[in-house]
A and B are shown apart, each in its own frame.
Chain A
Amino acid sequence: MTALIEKLSLYMQYPFVRYALIVGVLIALCSSLLGVTLVLKRFSFIGDGLSHVAFGAMAVAAVVGLSNEMPLVLVITTVCAVLLLCAGQNAKIKGDAAVAMISVGALAIGYLLMNIFAKSSNLSGDVCSTLFGSTSILTLTPAEVLICGILSVLVVAVFILFYNKIFSVTFDENFARATGMKVGLYNLLIAVVIAVIIVLAMNLVGSLLISALVIFPALSAMRLFKSFKAVTVCSAVFSVNCALLGILISILAGTPVGSTIVAVDIVGFLVFLAIGAVTRGGIKR
């Protein structure tokens, strides 16, 4: 045990480890906050679809040769989030089909672009790291940490300020609209915030595993808690702890960061599932 702690404190002296921990915790927090809403609104796949869009955008950025890809990825993903939402309402192509189409399309185009305009010889390695985010969290610059910090603060602030509206829109969109709430606007806001979170999370877990980061904390919290507030708080705490644990394990054991975090999430989910099953008969409330 002391050997482990010594090893950890040694690693903590490196800035890149500290950056990874800060960014990891922030992203885990942001993604879990909206995860509850996404799961309940049956929007889980928007997370998946948008992460593929972000992957495509990253490929474009890499091909064009941008040194800082974050702004472009953020813009493209946000535009797609808004488009997906409008498509869902106009219903020419229904929501889930539109998500699937954009998601698969972006993934394919992204890979195609990377393949045609490949600059490095290790193409599959590049794709792998973009999709699974294997090392990018360990190569963060202070500027990226700062951007991530600012965006996270914004996301959390928006979530707290609009918490009650988000609840209303999630629980019963028709009632909210009938009582004069600007449901379209709040759905738009949710879409934009999701886009921001996904672009943030790309750095940590890569595009394929983002859905896991969004969905697992919410589903786990729902096994145990029964009010919206308790579920939201629990999923945030769950997500932050899993991310911390996952990053520490991956540093100590040398495993890929993203997959390790998701593995910890899965274990956490199973634990919550078991506790939920055991206490269902016993706890009345």
Chain B
Amino acid sequence: MALLTCQDLSIGYDGHDIVHGLNFSVMPGDYLCIVGENGSGKSTLMKTILGLQAPLGGKILTGDGMRPNEIGYLPQQTVVQRDFPASVWEIVLSGCGNRTGLRPFYNKEEKRTAKDNIEKMGLTPYVRRCYRELSGGQQQRVLLARALCATKKMLLLDEPVSGLDPKVTAEMYDLIESLNKNDRITVIMISHDIEAAVKYADHVLHIGSTVFCGTKDEYVKSGAAKVFLKGGDTE
């Protein structure tokens, strides 16, 4: 059964739709990459999936025992976060916020989850360190650990490698791949980087002037990818 299904989805803001008639579903264990030009509606689609804004039409259904608030979200960094005084521990633990409900404090199990995810991301030496003093790659891993605290099933990554150097970018992609392959976590990734999308993902959703949704192999053969892949333009 599909974890996430979009039926005839129209997205946009202020009543102005960008993409309409979007149909796709994400099965457990999938690695879906959403690609498209700037302004094509990638971010809007992501916000709609996360419930940050309402769809203009159609439906988003979650299934297979996953509730809408169990999607682990890796956002792009905001200005506020760049000089935010918070330790790695505090940030990762805040990923458990969807389980506490009205309970004011985190319990032992949630603290253990945070600890495990910090270890998984190789951040144990930095637990007490300040977030803003870490390198870009380390910061992304902190936010990924936080996202993992919020979910066991699905991660939604918004441009996870933007602003990272090539070496750290490759490490980040490997990390995401291992989460997908070894921990069986479904991954939806938004990216400019079509080459990486084709390399790592098994499904591709291309939105923009042409909409394409299918497996990676179909995508490479289709016309939608050609413009990008030939030019090698990854912005």
Contacts and interface: CB of A to CB of B under 8 A. Distances in A.
A177 B212 CA distance: 29
Contacts of B227: none
Contacts of A171: 80-81, 84, 86, 91, 94
Nearest to B69: A180
A168 B94 contact: yes
- Choose among B75, B86, B133 the residue with the greatest number of A CB atoms under 10 Å from its CB: B86
- Choose among B86, B94, B132 the residue with the greatest number of A CB atoms under 10 Å from its CB: B94
B87 to A, nearest CB: 4
B98 A227 contact: no
Contacts of A168: 94, 97
Contact of A227 (B47, B86, B95, B150): B86
A174 B73 contact: yes
Given A164-B105, A168-B97, A285-B129, A227 B90 contact: yes
A30 interface: no
B122 interface: no
Given A167-B94, A177-B51, 6 more contacts: A160-B104, A172-B78, A178-B52, A228-B86, A229-B90, A231-B85
A126 to B, nearest CB: 40
Contacts of B93: 164
Contacts of A181: 97-98
A154 B84 CA distance: 27
A160 B104 CA distance: 8
Contacts of B85: 40, 222, 225-228, 230-231
Contacts, number: 98
A163 interface: yes
Contacts of B128: 227, 285
B2 interface: no
A162 interface: yes
A174 B98 contact: no
Interface string B48-71: 001110000000000000011111
Given A179-B97, A226-B85, A228-B85, A162 B75 contact: no
Contacts of A42: 80
Contacts of B147: 175
Interface residues on A, range: 20 to 34
A94 interface: no
A161 B93 CA distance: 16
12 contacts: A42-B80, A164-B97, A167-B86, A168-B94, A171-B80, A172-B94, A176-B94, A178-B50, A179-B95, A180-B67, A226-B130, A230-B85
B39 to A, nearest CB: 20
Contact of B87 (A160, A165, A170, A226): A226
Nearest to A42: B80
Nearest to A165: B97
A41 interface: yes
Interface string B73-110: 10100101100111101110111011010001110000
- Choose among A168, A174, A175, A181 the residue with the greatest number of B CB atoms under 10 Å from its CB: A175
A154 to B, nearest CB: 15
Contacts of B73: 174-175, 178-179
B146 interface: yes
Given A41-B80, A227-B85, A163 B104 contact: yes
B81 to A, nearest CB: 7
A180 B106 CA distance: 16
Nearest to A227: B87
A228 B92 CA distance: 13
B108 to A, nearest CB: 15
A285 B88 CA distance: 12
Given A40-B80, A174-B52, A175-B73, A167 B104 contact: no
Contacts of A165: 97, 104
A196 to B, nearest CB: 19
B2 to A, nearest CB: 20
A164 B51 contact: no
A232 to B, nearest CB: 9
Given A162-B104, A168-B94, A226-B85, A175 B75 contact: yes
Contacts of B97: 164-165, 168, 176, 179, 181
Interface string A199-227: 00000000000000000000000100111
Given A172-B78, A174-B75, A227-B90, A179 B84 contact: no
B127 to A, nearest CB: 11
A44 to B, nearest CB: 13
Closest 7 CB pairs of A and B: A180-B69, A226-B130, A179-B98, A227-B87, A178-B50, A161-B104, A178-B73
